[in-house]
Structure 1
Amino acid sequence: MQRRFFLKSGSASAVALALAACGGGGGGGGGGADSSAGATGSSLATGASTTRNAASGPNSYPFGSRLDAYVAGVLPTSASKDQMDAAVRSSYDAWKAHGLVDVPTVSGGKALRFGTSGDYLTVSEGMGYAMLITVLMAGHDPQARNLFDGLLKTVRARPAYSIPAGNGGQYLMDWRLTIDGSSTDAAGGGWNAMDGDLDIAMALLMADRQWGSTGTWNYRQEGINTINALKSWNMKPDGTTKGMSTANVSRTSDYMISHFRAFKRATGDSLWDLAVDRAYWLVNYMQNTYSPNCGLMPDFIVQTDTSTPIPSPGYMGDFVATEGYYYANAQRNPWRYATDYVTSGDSRWADVCTKLVNFIQRDTNGNPAIISAGYHLDGAAMDRSYSPEGMIGPMLCGAMVNGQFQTFLNSLWNWNAGNFTTDYYDSELQLLPMIVASGNWWNP
């Protein structure tokens, strides 16, 4: 169970809400690149050009086109590009058929279903995943834009109403909706979850590149509106993400580095440069101070207002005991960090991932199926009773940062392609990393 706590109008008071998530859900919200590429292994180039394609219009970046070459990292060599594309298309089709549903209370609205039973239809985290996936799969799915617009319609119909308009609440999403798609005080309470809104903002910028912004929605402006709201509500002036029960709690899986860079390009706001640097400092400090032999990082960091932040002792972020472990939130980090490395070449994130993947490869002897569902920061496994798709999927990207992991990377690709699930959270944490590992990620 994951619990999310949110600040009321920036104060220290909080509202507690519980989220039972398949594989762990993660919650909450609100908070100078080295261009060395230096990796070895399979070809770094995955497209025709290293220059970001600036064209906009109908499917300007169709799935499989690989218009932007990755500038660093390695790709799986156990499957050809065509084979990887086929695996992604098949996985997407299964994901779409299982997960995308109509919203009863939003005419024309779509949602990514949170589960097959229970009181809740969706969460903003899932809406962000779905928007990223659909914009990336345009060119394979002729309905991608219609689906994206249906998701966006739901996002904007369900704003974070407890956040003042002066802080951009109308451009952030209520983090959890009831089974009929309504917002209620007993469900999301009108508070946002930073991870969901970060992905929503990124997907909107990508939609502008993919389809342009002259149709029903001005995607670019909607994205900038959400970026500015995130800055107002979820960020400190020094670039630290903030939120949950106090402003000095920061979740490591909110460090979406390639998003931050895209936000800087879209707005010109130097805060997002600070966010990149601050995220690296915090993660590097956690690895070197609290997990020097394993390179792990906790779900949550606390005391971020000091020079000596610490892993959460528990009950300060999602309000569970496991917040100081590499677990249901931090498991996303190799996907987020490595995605930035292969597209930016910022070697700091290769270093972060190399420390982590070295340990995981050593811990499993290169067998993805026995990765633990979580780890204490000293490397002690938490649960090996099953193969956790949501943990194994993001590790696929982590292994892309260095050619020394080529064999492990191939095993990770083969395992994910052969063991794809449609269960919420695990499914998205396989599909999005598979898109990245196949060379099909791109930035706006």
Structure 2
Amino acid sequence: MGSLGLKEAVAMALGGMIGGGIYSAFGIVVAISGTAAWVAFLVAGTVAMCAGYSYVKLNEHTDGNGGAPTFVREFVGWDTLAGMIGWTLLFGYIGSMALYAYAFAGFFSEMLGRLHFLGVPVANVVSAFLIAVFVGLNLLGASETGKAEDVLTFAKVAIIGVFGLWGVWYAFNGHTLAFGFDEVLTPSPVVGAAMSFVAFQGWQLLMYDQGQFDDPVENIKTAIYVSIPAATLLYVLVALTTVSLLRLSVIAVAPEVSLLYAGIEFMGRIGAFVIGLSALFSTASAVNATLFSSAQFSRDLIDMGLLPERFGGGDGDIPKKIVVVLGVLSAAFAVYGSLSSITSFASLSFIAVFGGMSWLTFRKRAEFDDVSAAIPLVGVVGTVVFFPLLLYNLYVNSPGVFYTVVVISVLVVGSELFYFEREPLEELLPWMSTEGENR
């Protein structure tokens, strides 16, 4: 039995969502959905809640860590699919870390000015440096503890909660509170919901080290059921505040720091500075937590034979080589990617996996007895709508981003197929044989 309880589980799940998502993907979702952004977050939160329910039910009927790959191996018995899902999640975490680092650099640059270092925009330098710092810390074995996460998450929630409630009250008294009802029935809130999905993925990191919790199945279940609605409520409040106090044209110009500008409107420069500091701390913390959890997840994949053994750290240690690989790829995304491309790629990864787990739960509902068919079905329908709609929106409005995301996705899927279907390919193409080499 682990030493962490329900409070720590809720703190980790909630901190994993709002810690990075509120300061990273938020602005671009508002830029897409306009004054109906609160609807986008409500829709995304509903679909995420259905996915969370599906994860809980699958977890109740399995033993051990691993999350989605474990579920697929247990209930489908197809290692190739389990491995591809595991790799897809890893690339989703890479996108998430890049997104958090991008947001950190955006707030850092905005608060200190648009500086350059050796001719390179300081935001790019800061993004790469931030990830490098946490790669180093994780290689040394440093990580957030559950008790510390309680305090840190309380601070994050308190700051964002004050911002949202105060902002809505201020907008209401100033008669500027905007609900965007005329946009609710348009496609934009659904597109925004799809784009925001990366902001709702932090809870499933609980699945990767369940042994640290006392009564893990029950505590993780309760933590998921509490954290997703709480995060959704915070996103809705912040969305109402931001679109009511800022012109959409201002948000579109600098979506990654829109909360900073909104804070100036009613909290003054000191209040906005507090928001900025919270953003810096939260996004940095999110990079570290995601990197640490991704390394734990990678260790599980190696133990399951779904990642090459050469990446392992030995004796159950955090696999150091994979930490470096994750860090390098995340830094490359953060430096060379755009906010839209990073957010889109990460969200698409989680949409695909969460939809798959909802479908698996729906299929197994008769075997589990205690599963409501409607909840996972809503998760399936939501993700099936999100995935093509997000791609179509990118194709129409941001073709450059669309082709970037498609190329990256093809490379990811191609590498997955190449690894997991290598033996059949070697039979067809003998020159590919790597006999004697660890896969």
TM-score by length of structure 2 reads: 0.31
Name whichever structure is richer in helix by fraction.
2
Name whichever structure is richer in strand by fraction.
1
TM-score by length of structure 1 reads: 0.31
